[in-house]
Amino acid sequence: MKVSYHGHSVVNIETNGKNILIDPFITGNELCDLDADKVKPDVILLTHGHNDHVGDTVEIAKRNRSLVVAPFELATYLGWKGVETHPLHIGGGYTFDFGRVKLTQAFHGSSYTEEENEKIVYTGMPAGIIFEAEGKTVYHMGDTGLFSDMKLIGERNNVDLLFVPIGDNFTMGPEDAKQAVQWVEPGYTVPIHYNTFPPIKQDAEAFVEAISPIKGKALKAGEFIDL
């Protein structure tokens, strides 16, 4: 399994002959190295409905006939846009031919802003994603504050790779994210959701040093980990 990071919360997983893209905020994301017109995911996984996570989902999914897996209300909204979806909800999981996807809780918001209509569309509960394939487990926390059940999630899942938000302001900051990492006890940690906008500027290298002896790395856009 090859797992790569592409700025903000964008993650790509290559496994079982499939290409899986998480939270594809590409257009308008200066930290992303991808081209929304060239990516070819078989599957798109979404944590919640905010624009900086849904990103280019509709355009990418329509062009590639990608399956979009998302929380129920968000999946319904995207289905109305002509996208093929599979809805899940928190605590629920489903085994696909490319791997198993389960949603965890996340403490945040979830809505899609239609700026042209000055309208905010409710898209259900936000979530984290536990992805399992090839005997490996990847936990993408999505956008969230700290909550104590992260310890339970770590106890019940042997997390090989954790993607944890550190930006503060909208999500956990570095101190709370450090606690989250200690509770989950992953094999490897990658910080996400930082430096994209001025309010979430953080020193990711300092965060990685702070979580030692747990292993981690502040991946640059395009860098990857082989699990």
Phi-psi domain of 117 (left: phi exceeds 0; alpha: psi -120 through 50; beta: other): alpha
User: What does the alpha-carbon distance between residue 81 and residue 98 come to, in Å, rounded to a whole number?
Assistant: 24
- The pLDDT of residue 148 is 97
Locus of tokens 């536990």? 130
Residue 198 lies in a domain: yes
Helix axes 149-156, 174-184, angle to 10 degrees: 40
Determine whether 143 is exposed, middle or buried from the number of CB atoms within 10 Å of its CB (0-12, 13-18, 19+): buried
pTM of full prediction above 0.95: yes
Q: Is residue 88 one of the residues assigned to a domain?
A: yes
* Residue range 170-182, pLDDT digits in tens: 999 999 999 999 9
Task: Report if residue 14 sits inside a domain.
Answer: yes
Give percent above pLDDT 90 in the chain. 100
Contact 142, 90 (CB under 8 A): no
Confidence tier at 54 by pLDDT (50, 70, 90): very high
Indicate whether 227 belongs to any domain.
Answer: no
Is residue 226 domain-resident?
no
Residue 24 pLDDT: 98
**Residue 205, domain member (yes or no):** yes
Structural domain count of the chain: 1
The predicted model gives 43-50 an average pLDDT of 98
Its domain, for residue 163, covers 2-219
CATH of the domain at 210: 3.60.15.10
